[in-house]
Amino acid sequence: MERSELKFVVEAMLFAAESPLSVGDVMELVDGVTREDVEEAVAELSREYDTVPHAFKLIHVAGGHQMCTREEYSFWLDRLKHAKRKARLSRAALETAAIVAYKQPVTKLEVENIRGVDSGATLHTLLERDLATIRGRGKGPGRPLLYGTTRQFLVHFGLNELDELPKLSELKEILDEREAAGVEDDGGLPPEQVPGV
């Protein structure tokens, strides 16, 4: 493989890698290249990123190399992260959020007993989006984690306080109305407009 092509192969790998990529990793994946070839490709990429203005750079971390955004653009990445948080929630996440909101503090096992399925991933999503938080530990066997809602939960769903959630008796009416109107799930509404959640 020519050196110029190797540089682009290494760049593509670094771009796609979720964790730092070592010279040895590249050598295992690309036949017939030497350590010096890979090191030179990484060095050339690093020089190019430093010479021509880019929003990212190469860093040496944990025994490998990784692309990362330059510090001066962190404000914009924070905005992007916030915008992603407002993205639509899946039906499973909405169900889990509703259970946490109405039953808090609630354990994972209690959520799963209500939903009838494993809810670890959806609880993780809610934690990641700051819609749920860990409120402590229960008193039962193994002292399970207790989950509750956050201020961001209120913001996300346009509530001032949890008392504004519909009463459980009202939820049946809302769901019946939605079913009568032919609405099977929340797909047509943004999360903040889904009634009752």
- CATH number of the domain within which 180 lies: 1.10.10.10
Mean pLDDT across 76-83? 78
pLDDT-based confidence at residue 64 (cuts at 50, 70, 90): confident
Residues in CB range of 16: below 8 A, 6 or more apart: none
93 with 147, same domain? yes
40 with 131, same domain? no
Is the alpha carbon torsion for 14, 17, 23, 27 positive or negative?
negative
Mean pLDDT across 58-84? 82
Question: Which pLDDT score is estimated for 83?
Answer: 67
Question: Which pLDDT score is estimated for 78?
Answer: 81
Question: Which pLDDT score is estimated for 166?
Answer: 84
Domain boundary among 19, 40, 72: 72
Whole domain around residue 177: which residue ranges?
86-193
- Residue with token string 């939903």: 115
130 with 185, same domain? yes
DSSP string, 133-180: EEEEE-SSTT--EEEEE-HHHHHHTT-SSGGGSPPHHHHHHHHHHHHH
21 with 44, same domain? yes
119 is a domain residue: yes
24 with 103, same domain? no
Q: Name the more confident of 196 and 98.
A: 98
169 is a domain residue: yes
Which residues, in sequence order, are bridge partners of residue 136? 146
77 is a domain residue: no
92 with 187, same domain? yes
In degrees and rounded to multiples of 5, residue 96 shows phi and psi of: -65, -40
Question: Which pLDDT score is estimated for 8?
Answer: 92
Domain boundary among 31, 50, 72: 72
Indicate the helix (H) or strand (E) that contains 107.
Answer: strand 106-107
80 is a domain residue: no
108 with 61, same domain? no
Say yes or no to pLDDT of 51 above 80.
yes
33 is a domain residue: yes
114 with 136, same domain? yes
- Residue with token string 């036949």: 31
128 with 154, same domain? yes
pTM exceeds 0.85, yes or no: no
Question: Which pLDDT score is estimated for 183?
Answer: 54
Mean pLDDT across 89-116? 92
Say yes or no to pLDDT of 108 above 90.
yes
pLDDT-based confidence at residue 196 (cuts at 50, 70, 90): very low
pLDDT-based confidence at residue 192 (cuts at 50, 70, 90): very low
What's the pLDDT tens digit per position in 153-183?
Answer: 988 888 888 888 888 777 677 767 777 776 5
Mean pLDDT across 15-27? 88
Domain boundary among 43, 72, 101: 72
Q: How many domains does the chain have?
A: 2
